Copies of this chain bind each other. A is one copy, B any other.
Amino acid sequence: MIADFQVWSKNHQAHIETSLETLLPTAKFSPDHLHDAMRYAVLGGGKRIRSLLAFAAGELSMADEERVTIAAVAVELIHAYSLVHDDLPCMDDDVLRRGKPTCHVEYNEAIALLVGDSLQSLAFQLLAEYRLAVTPQVQLEMIKRLAQAAGSRGMAGGQAIDLANIGKTLSLPELEFMHIQKTGALIRSAVMIGACCGNSLNDSQLKNLDHFAKYIGLAFQVVDDVLDTEATSETLGKTAGKDAKNNKPTYVSILGVKQARKLAEKLRHDAYQTLEIFGAAAARLRQVTDFIIQREC
C-alpha cells in the first residue's frame, strides 16, 4: 500500500508539474520578463499536497483525471501567488522559498507583485476555460468556492489576521480560527473542487468530505509548525524557525512540540472518521492524510 502510494504521488506530482509547464504562458509572449518570473515562482518545487488532495478527492467521485488536473493547477496557482506575496518585504520579508531565492529577490518587488496578481487571474481563467464538470453550473460553483477560499474571508483574510497577531498571545481557538482561513480554506477548496469534477456526491457525502478537508487543513498547519521548529532550512527549502523569529503564535508556541504532535494525531483520527461512510473509495484520501501527517519537509 505504501509503495503504491509512493508511485501514485510521484506520478501525480510529475503530471502536475508538466501541466503547469504547459498552462503557464511562456517567455515567448510579451511581457517576457513577467512570464519568466511567473514560471520561476510556480515551477520546480513544492510537494503539491493540494493537488494530491484534489486527485484523491477526484478518485472518490470517479472524476476524469484531466478535469481534476485543471482544477489542481488552478489551486496550485493560487497557492503559488500567495507565497510570492507573503514573501514580500512588507509581509514576511523572506529570501528563501522551495530552495531558491524568493521571487522578489530573484527579480524585483514590482515584478513579484505582478506575478502574484497574474497567477491569481490565470487560476480563474483556467477554471472558466476548460470543461471541468458535468454541467457549467457546477463549474460556476467551483469558481465561487475557490474565489471564496482565496479572498478576504479565506486565505488573504487569514494572512491579515496573522500579521495583526504578531507578538500577541493567542488562545488555541483564536489560533485555529486564523489557520482555518489562512491555510485551511485553500486546502478545503482543493478537496471540494477535485470532487466536483466527478459524479455528484449527495449532501451527506459532501458534508463529510468538507469536514474531512477542515481537519486535514488544520493537521497540515500543526505539522507545519512542528517542522518549522524541528527541521532545517535545507530540508524545508524555506527559512526554518522563522515563526519564532518573527514572534508569531504557533501550535508549538502554545502547546509545545509533544502536545502539537498529539493534536496532529487526533486530527488524523477525526479525518479518518469522516471518511468512514465512503469505505474503500476513500483509500487514497486516507493515504494523503498519512502523507501530510508523516512528512518531514
B118 & A156 in contact (Cβ 8 Å cutoff): yes
A118 & B152 in contact (Cβ 8 Å cutoff): yes
Given A118-B157, A152-B122, A153-B25, CB of A144 within 8 Å of CB of B164: no
Distance of A120 from chain B, by nearest CB (Å):
5
Instruction: Please tell me which one of the listed residues B91, B121, B148, B161 contacts residue A151 in the complex, with CB atoms under 8 A apart.
Output: B121
B85 & A160 in contact (Cβ 8 Å cutoff): no
Residue of B nearest to A123 (CB): B147
B-contacting residues, A75-91, CB 8 Å: 81, 85, 88, 90-91
Instruction: Please tell me which one of the listed residues B108, B120, B141 contacts residue A128 in the complex, with CB atoms under 8 A apart.
Output: B141
B144 & A111 in contact (Cβ 8 Å cutoff): no
Residue A196, interface by CB 8 Å: no
Give every chain B residue within 8 A of A140 (Cβ-Cβ): 128-129, 136, 139-140
Residue A31, interface by CB 8 Å: yes
Chain A residues bordering chain B, tally (CB within 8 A): 53
B118 & A91 in contact (Cβ 8 Å cutoff): no
Distance of A76 from chain B, by nearest CB (Å):
16
Residue of B nearest to A104 (CB): B90
Residue A251, interface by CB 8 Å: no
Question: A85–B110 Cα gap in the complex (Å)?
Answer: 9
Give every chain B residue within 8 A of A33 (Cβ-Cβ): 160, 164
Residue A114, interface by CB 8 Å: yes
Residue A125, interface by CB 8 Å: yes
Give every chain B residue within 8 A of A117 (Cβ-Cβ): 81, 85, 116-117, 120, 150, 156
Residues of A within 8 A of B (CB): 25, 29-31, 33-35, 38, 81, 85, 88, 90-91, 108-111, 113-114, 116-118, 120-122, 124-125, 127-129, 135-137, 139-141, 143-144, 147-148, 150-154, 156-157, 159-161, 163-164, 177
Question: A161–B258 Cα gap in the complex (Å)?
Answer: 51
Question: A197–B20 Cα gap in the complex (Å)?
Answer: 32
Pairs across A and B, CB under 8 Å, 27 listed: A25-B152, A29-B153, A33-B160, A33-B164, A34-B157, A85-B117, A90-B109, A90-B110, A91-B110, A118-B151, A118-B157, A121-B147, A121-B156, A122-B147, A122-B151, A124-B147, A125-B143, A125-B147, A125-B148, A125-B151, A127-B143, A128-B141, A128-B144, A129-B140, A135-B136, A136-B136, A136-B139
